[in-house]
Structure 1
């Protein structure tokens, strides 16, 4: 795949239609991609691209895709492509394939936005930086559309969409709030890309209050909420666990807090 060199947003034709038709077309596309990847190690470009009219609404999350019989652009159903693609490879070793295919898809506007919104894990600082940088490369064409995301009936501009999906990243990695969304995302991505372990820990501390606010069922809340306890645990966290939380996404931090709480419970 090559970077799209157009100011207009183009999407693969298989993403448009009723829910059922897109589901079927996306699966066929995934099987086609998987077969080529299995044989050649590359992912083919979609057979047909369609220019999206300015202002068109794209369904960017499955939770808001409630009118299944209405033809629409269903961006979130790139997931069906990925599922079918992974069905064609070794089921015991899908992560390398998924990572390689994500790299191909990030070279397209639609693939970049899908992976940025899906936030498939582990959401490390390095991976998040790559996803944000991909979206930023296609910022102009992506601005042509509006997006349904998590709230039924609320069509977002690209800026509003990225705030809804990545306010945590901007708060953690670019707390300076007087810049545009594009500028803050660019700065956050740059900082994540070159972050040291200590940089990640500081970003995690900036997002910990948000995570703790949604972790009210912890049995040892006061202990795990203590900054000294958190710093000690983060400093000694092994590389696999640390990579998983290094971007400071609140959902991953809640997962980390829950693990710490469980460890205290069994001591």
Structure 2
């Protein structure tokens, strides 16, 4: 009986490993993991895209400070007691990093839901305008004829970004204990967060395209690897304390650049073999 269970466990492990290998290979072939990095350079070289970030920087820092203080006061010592068994003397420093990352996650969820929503929307649409994808942006907002890519943005007719999600916060803290497992646990935590992050990066693009929920789900299912690759790199960047707000905006720019390339059929994803999916997308248009 025990041998049977061991064999079944090994079979499940092999299946999971093969599935993750496929995801990684698909992500590598698509090049999606590069777009968060492209977003950084594109953002830095296009000063007009700084405006939405600049307008929210002071309130964001105030929110960050109001979260970090209580988090250290309430969670540092209890987590230190656990981390001592995992990291020994280094626990003093690793626990500080852990609390900072937890704080960044809480701030990220709150800020994206209540503080940064409109600014991120403007950043995404502004990047598409800068990439001359004005036709698709016009599906979701009014556009002015003059000005830079941000000044041309008029009233938003549709807003796709979801408000505060209790489930997202619960899911974060539910998987947080994985970080107590050295290396493997942290990698698993980042990957799980990355997959969830990746599935949401093109919500605005799908809305502008007018895709139905079923078409959107089919597209994401067909391209699990690329979106997991983008989401994992984006998650790593947004885990950087304090600078997470900057990377939230550069990741948004990267997602828009990726959408512009998909729209121009200039990615491996759109060159691949998925005729039925492409046909469904055409019908949705």
- Which has the higher relative contact order, 1 or 2, with Cα contacts under 8 A spaced 6 or more apart? 2
Higher helix share: 2
**TM-score, scaled relative to structure 1:** 0.26
Q: Which has the larger radius of gyration?
A: 2
**TM-score, scaled relative to structure 2:** 0.25
Higher strand share: 1
